[in-house]
Amino acid sequence: MDSEIDDLYPFVYRGVLTEESLDKSGRITKAELSDREAAQIADKLAYGMLDDEALVSAQRMALVYTAIHAFENTVREYVKSTLLETHKENWWEMVPERIRKRVDSRMEDDAKFRWHGTRGGSEIEYCDFGDLSSIIVVNWDDFELQLADREWCKSVLGVLERSRNIVMHGGVLATQDIERIGGNIRDWVRQVG
């Protein structure tokens, strides 16, 4: 038994050293976008034919949208997991009927166009960002322990939705708006975990 452990340690240690070496050499993980891949995408999207100033402005806002997009999907998962934990397989029934109807319509529309990708595999992925706040408020008892303050929750999500919509529809945010987004995201993450 001791000889097996003695043989295992050097094997594991060599594996750790190999991983560190690969990381130091610039290994690209699946979660990274390489410069080469970004250049290929830009070429496919005809970046060279677009106005340089418009591209730079869009690239700045793309960073903002990336943060909001990640945050929005984090909130989606939080809402779903909280309702699922409390209401099990009936979690979707806790969503207001008007939202469920809109989601059903969107899912039916996606099903018609099988040649195109969908929004996702779960109903929550078909909800608007603003719907998430409504779902939380309607089910406040399920969220109160972690969120603590309903008005704060509505305010944070409302501000981020406003910024999201501006960026998504071609608008450009001022530095103070970007700072506000970052502050709201940090506050939410500190509160929710």
Better-scored residue on pLDDT, 90 or 19? 90
Q: What is the pLDDT of residues 116-141, one digit of tens each?
A: 988 888 999 999 999 999 999 999 99
Distance CA(157)–CA(75), nearest Å, equals 9
- pTM value is 0.76
Rg of the Cα atoms in the chain: 22
Distance CA(146)–CA(17), nearest Å, equals 41
Q: What is the pLDDT of residue 33?
A: 82
Q: What is the pLDDT of residue 32?
A: 81
Range 168-173 contact pairs with CB under 8 angstroms and sequence separation of 24 or more: 168/65, 171/61, 172/57, 172/60, 172/61, 173/61, 173/64
Q: What is the pLDDT of residues 65-105, one digit of tens each?
A: 999 999 999 999 999 999 999 999 999 999 999 999 999 99
- Give residue limits of the domains in the chain: 52-192
